[in-house]
Amino acid sequence: MLTLSRWKIIAVTLSVIFGILFSLPNVLPQKTLDAMPGWLPRQKLNLGLDLQGGSYLLYEVDTEALHRERLSNLVEDVRTQLRNEQIPFGELAQQGDVVSVRIGDASRYNDAMNVLRKNIGAPLAGVIGGKDVAVSGKGDQRIQLEYVPEAIRADAAKAVDQSIETVRRRIDSLGTKEPSINRQGANRIMIQAAGESDPERLRAVIGKTAKLTFQMVDETVTPEDIQAGRIPPGSEVLKGDRYAAVYVVKKRAVVSGDELTNATQTFDQNGSPAVGFAFNGAGARKFGDVTTRNRGKRFAIVLDKQVISAPQINDPITGGSGIITGSFTAQSANELALLLCSGALPAPLNIEDQRTVTAELGADAVKAGSISLAIGAASMFVFVILAYGLFGAFAAIALVVNVLLIIGIMSFSQATLTFPGIAGLILTLAVAVDANVLIYERMRDEANAGRTPMAAADHGYKLALTSILDANITSLISGLIMFSFGSGPVKGFAWTLVIGVFTSLFTAIFITQVLIGWWFKATKPKKLPIA
């Protein structure tokens, strides 16, 4: 065990060099880092929200609004299917969570049931032959449709997952580093953006649904009809752009923003800021078909239920791309392009809590953490040196290398250090000392049993290794479980602990072993300094 093999010396030397090189940028001023050669590492630790300050936001996903939209779409689907089959109907309406329609011709009632059961709704995951919409007859030639409970729950869960990914893409587009975005409860999203001192800037991007749709303008409705409230079924009134106060458009979108592949800030033929867009293959085909069939008519480009442009279709648009014009500035056009690229939120987000953690509070936390780390490390150094003399000094050197390795690995991987992470770092040092204590106590027992110094040291390492591995493996399992299922501070603590388990094993076993082996080779002692 105490043989100074070449690979052990190389491993220890490389680990020390790695720890120093990747930890050093954290204590050097920025000017010095900028002047360093490009091949040297410059990554610093990413400090969490609690250490460097930033913004905290808590959103609730409005799953009820999502369900209302699904029901509204269900009404339009029923209308479209029955009209396509030329089945007379009336009294189509939404009442609570149920959509009801009355079939006008009793002889076509069964046809209507079959059409709706076949074409309405999507397959329900995990249910063979089942659909997310239940279609049932209720007498008096009425048919009722409603979403089954499993579909409602699945929609809500999917909306939260999609919202988390969309929010992450939007925050990434702002250049915010290492945001913490986690689900909290059933339908809440917690966002911690370290270093982002303006939560309003985050809200301006995060909170927009950015649901882009292309809907045909209903040309049959006159301004007088709008004032009198005579809006045909299947149409709706939306706020307009600078050219019109309101528009009446068909409720059913012909193409949606889900089929966009790209959006960029550009300029129109007059040099005004605009947003260029491109559809995927399916979207391009739909857009081409719609513009071919409706030449001379207008279609509305709708963003979050507001018409931002309503151009006339002069020629079919078959290329799958175009531009959105409106009263944009270069900044607002760029923001809209970023929102469209990151995707629409499936449901509105309602702000529940908003806080700003100041840099002063973060600095206080860093100072407190540094002091606690220094006190803890100093106490352990004093203990091991007083208890084990020279070998205790070797253990102290291993602890220093351990800290350098942890900080170096976290800087290299750009992991985020939080205040609980500092607690994990202190705990890691204690575990590392514990490994050395086990080794040295076994050495002492072997020396007292009459073994020579070399044999006592060698057996001490061999006999203590099993206990050390058992203790560290259980710590590793606990850390991995906390990292997998925890969030926020728990995850930060667990990540530091997991890294520390590996570095502690390496430094406690290999570094002290190389130092003790070198000491034996240099002094050839007659007695162990801990006996």
Give the pLDDT confidence of 384-427 residue by residue, as tens digits: 888 888 988 998 898 889 888 988 888 887 777 777 777 777 77
pLDDT confidence bin for 488, thresholds 50/70/90: low
Among 353, 410, 367, 354, residue whose Cα is nearest residue 51: 367
pLDDT confidence bin for 124, thresholds 50/70/90: low
The amino acid sitting at 487 is: S
Among 164, 178, 91, residue whose Cα is nearest residue 347: 164
Please determine, for residue 250, whether its predicted confidence score (pLDDT) is greater than 80.
yes
If DSSP codes are grouped into helix, strand and coil, which group holds residue 279? strand
User: How far is 113 from 144, CA to CA, in rounded Å?
Assistant: 10
- Percentage of the chain modeled with pLDDT above 70: 92
- Rounded CA Rg of the chain: 34
What pLDDT does residue 214 have?
86
The amino acid sitting at 335 is: E
Spatial strand order in the sheet of 133-137: 89-95, 98-103, 142-147, 133-137
Among 179, 185, 151, residue whose Cα is nearest residue 166: 179
What pLDDT does residue 123 have?
72
- For the purposes of burial, counting CB atoms within 10 Å of the CB of 407, is it exposed (0-12), middle (13-18) or buried (19 or more)? buried
Please determine, for residue 339, whether its predicted confidence score (pLDDT) is greater than 80.
no
Give the pLDDT confidence of 189-214 residue by residue, as tens digits: 988 877 776 777 777 777 677 777 88
User: How far is 159 from 170, CA to CA, in rounded Å?
Assistant: 16
Mean pLDDT score, 14-29: 86
The DSSP code for 124 is P
Mean pLDDT score, 106-129: 79
Is the whole-model pTM more than 0.75? no
Mean pLDDT score, 222-236: 87
Please determine, for residue 366, whether its predicted confidence score (pLDDT) is greater than 70.
no
Mean pLDDT score, 121-138: 73
pLDDT confidence bin for 363, thresholds 50/70/90: low
The amino acid sitting at 48 is: G
Among 346, 284, 309, 303, residue whose Cα is nearest residue 73: 346
Window from 51-55, 269-273, 312-316 with minimum mean pLDDT: 51-55
Give the pLDDT confidence of 30-46 residue by residue, as tens digits: 788 777 787 788 788 77
pLDDT confidence bin for 453, thresholds 50/70/90: confident
Handedness of CA 435, 439, 444, 448 (dihedral sign): positive
Task: Tell me how long the chain is.
Answer: 531
**Inter-residue contact 405 to 19 (CB < 8 Å):** yes
Spatial strand order in the sheet of 260-267: 260-267, 273-279, 321-324
pLDDT confidence bin for 100, thresholds 50/70/90: very high
User: How far is 183 from 54, CA to CA, in rounded Å?
Assistant: 19
What pLDDT does residue 101 have?
92
pLDDT confidence bin for 88, thresholds 50/70/90: very high
